[in-house]
Amino acid sequence: MTRTPEDLLISTQHALRRVRVDAPLVQCITNNVVVNFTANALLALGAAPAMVDIPEEAGAFAGIAGGVLINLGTPAEEQRHAMLEAAHAASSAGTPWVLDPVAVGALSVRTPLSHRLRDLRPTIIRGNASEIIAVAGVGAGGRGVDATDHVDAALEAATSLASTTGAVVAVSGPVDVVTDGSSIVRIANGDALLTRVTGGGCALGAVMAAFAAVDDDRFASTVAAVTVYTVAAELAAERATGPGTFAVAFLDALSAVDEADIAARAAIS
């Protein structure tokens, strides 16, 4: 499709409608800090979460799921095996899958694991600027889960990563960037309260998997996921008085956000 902001706005509205009609089944192999929030975010949006993350089940389930999230937040040994099993199975079955390389860089377990998963050709790679730089193999990562690099500093790494893996790469920050190695789109929505809620970034990876499940144009589906998610954050922030009320309001906003909100608020360029 044409990569104009107007076209991407229309495809975002269409994808949101499809998610709510199709209720895609999303397998989440994610960290134990954010399991509940991630599942609730998918339910609020209209998708169906399935936290199937043990070996012997993970691969079988990836073959029947609509989309798969692999998040490296707390990669215990059993879950690491499940991640690799699910990635192989998803790739074989043609199931879109998202790699979220949480806190990669200097850490000795998750960093090589992220590179093994990267080489299995994920559909989408989502992370902050420091994580994307580290997965691309050109930097040491950030401070734990926090980025120490600006989004613009990750552009070269993101485009290179997209070109070499075939993945759509999404760099999260104050202004999010999505690239497939040739096209680059910026989405200037969202609110800083997302960074003060556990799972604010991790749940986005699951939402990306849900949108990829209903739209074969993975670039457009990733833009749609980021746009819907960050517009919902804006709606929630207008009602919140702090991080606690924001977390509840955000789930409500994911459920309520509609095509009119996207038309009025989306800042895609």
Domains of the chain with CATH codes: 5-265 (3.40.1190.20)
- Tens digit of each residue's pLDDT (9 = 90 or more) over 19-74: 999 999 999 999 999 999 999 999 999 999 999 999 999 999 999 999 999 999 99
pLDDT of residue 142: 46
For the chain, what is the radius of gyration of the CA atoms? 16
> Taking Cα atoms as reference points, which of 193, 196, 184, 198 lies closest to residue 269?
184
Pick the residue with more confidence: 139 or 137? 137
pLDDT single digits (tens) 170-200: 999 999 999 999 999 999 999 999 999 999 9
Helix (H) or strand (E) holding 28: strand 25-29
Measured in whole angstroms, how far is the alpha carbon of residue 264 from the centre of its chain?
A: 23
> Cα separation of 8 and 166, whole Å?
20
Chain centroid to Cα 232, Å, comes to 15
Helices (H), the chain: 5-22, 35-45, 58-62, 77-93, 110-118, 129-135, 155-165, 202-214, 218-237, 243-256, 259-265
- Chain Cα centroid distance, residue 193: 18
Packing angle of the helix pair 110-118, 77-93 (nearest 10 deg): 10
Q: Find residue 94's DSSP bridge partners.
A: none
Predicted confidence (pLDDT) per residue in 212-240, tens digit = 999 999 999 999 999 999 999 999 999 99
The answer, as to whether pTM is greater than 0.85, is: yes
Give residue-wise pLDDT tens across range 72-129: 999 999 999 999 999 999 999 999 999 999 989 878 899 999 999 999 999 999 999 9
Q: How many CB atoms lie within 10 A of CB 72?
A: 27
- Predicted pLDDT of residue 149: 60
What is the Cα–Cα distance from 86 to 209, expressed in whole angstroms? Answer: 14
Q: What is the per-residue pLDDT for 144?
A: 47
Confidence of residue 247 (pLDDT cuts 50, 70, 90): very high
Q: Which residues contact 36 (CB under 8 A, 6 or more apart)?
A: none
pLDDT grade, residue 3 (50/70/90)? confident
φ/ψ (deg, to 5) at 216: -70, -15
Please check whether residue 262 is in contact with residue 230, taking contact to mean a CB–CB distance below 8 angstroms.
no
Label the pairing between strands 168-172 and 176-179: antiparallel
156-159 CB contacts, 8 Å cutoff, 24+ apart: 157/132, 157/133, 158/132, 159/184
